[in-house]
Structure 1
């Protein structure tokens, strides 16, 4: 097979074996792919398609995380306990961040998306060991005082907020999904970054904004490529 046979035109949607390749132009090359006839190796196109399929499904973790986050802001007693709900919200938020960065990997804002993912993951990693500690208390044997742990909690919440802000900015400028979802994500990031120090009902409003942004992104992502 010649070198030309190992590349495909995005407009023809065919693999090297002649079978149809179900890849949307906007997903492969970003906003400009529909206007330009770029060539893409088959194995790379299939890999991009697989990443986008994961992102399309995993993005539904974002509205689920928003619901759990909003639940914790209401101060209601929950059967599994607030710690379990908080950890579940962190876990779903991490999945959603990875999925959103994967969704934007082929767009012009991929650098902002990757930066938001890295900063957000750093914030989540720092938040996890602090989630189980009571307020104004330090763990036994910890080299940090209670005041230092409180500062670390503020830094962790701020890092998560900055991560969501960068991802929201990437969504706003990517020209792949609805830019309004990026605005909602950046507004929600402000309350997420404030953490437990935000005045009620601001955290609940932030959770609602995150729910709206996550639902919009997940719904739009599901319509970008075929299901099979």
Structure 2
């Protein structure tokens, strides 16, 4: 008895997944980038999760804008800021994952690592009092604001690189990359500029996040 090419040995229907995900580099043959079906299914699932996780970026922008306005909420401003940072971290990881198949994957990965390094350095300094933070990092309380500004600058540089990667990737709308870079500059310069600038940065981040989530959700790899 012969087995149909559309059925497995047990008689069940054969589920076929895309052989590879993403576009092949220019000037190269796609045959060299063929993947086994099992790997292709795994990559497809990861990319689907990344497309859904991009919606965390506009949510983080809304919470950060609420945080910059100084609106009194029952849990206090710190939980709102921490939740916004957590959602932004998820979205930036998802964005770097989507750009992993583009020509700017190295820039995106560098930006993600810088953003995570700055966020890791900023988290204990923002959550603890200046005296406690100074004791934790073995420095004087006067030096803590300098370290906070350094952490913000590192995080801003990482988001700038991610925005540049979006702009040059030719995978999503390049205007979203410009908005992301402008948002990084506005948010990073908030401690040196007038009060409305961080809120403007949150609005720019909201526009960039909505655009990336919309175009990323419609991004389907070639089969």
Instruction: Give the TM-score taking structure 2 as reference length.
Output: 0.84
> Per-residue deviation at 1:223?
0.6
Task: Map residues 1-228 of structure 1 onto 2, 5 A cutoff.
Answer: 19-22=15-18, 28-29=22-23, 32=26, 37-38=30-31, 39-42=33-36, 43-134=38-129, 137-139=130-132, 141-142=135-136, 143-225=138-220
Residues 31 and 73 (structure 1), Cα distance of their counterparts in 2 relative to 1, 3 Å cut: farther
> Per-residue deviation at 1:225?
2.4
Deviations 1:64-105 (A, max 9, x none): 111111111111111110000010011111101100000100
Distance in 2 (CA, whole Å) between partners of 1:153 and 1:102 is 28
Say if 2:187 and 2:197, in contact at 8 Å, map to a contact too: no
Can you give the 5+ residue segments of structure 1 that lack an aligned partner in the other structure?
Answer: 1-16
1:4 counterpart residue number? none
Runs (4+) of structure 1 moved beyond 6 Å? none
Deviations 1:44-66 (A, max 9, x none): 32232122111101111100111
Number of residue equivalences: 205
Instruction: Give the TM-score taking structure 1 as reference length.
Output: 0.82
> Per-residue deviation at 1:31?
7.0
> Per-residue deviation at 1:20?
3.0
Can you give the 5+ residue segments of structure 2 that lack an aligned partner in the other structure?
Answer: 1-12
Secondary structure at the counterpart of residue 162 of structure 1 = helix
Instruction: Tell me which structure has the larger Cα radius of gyration.
Output: 2
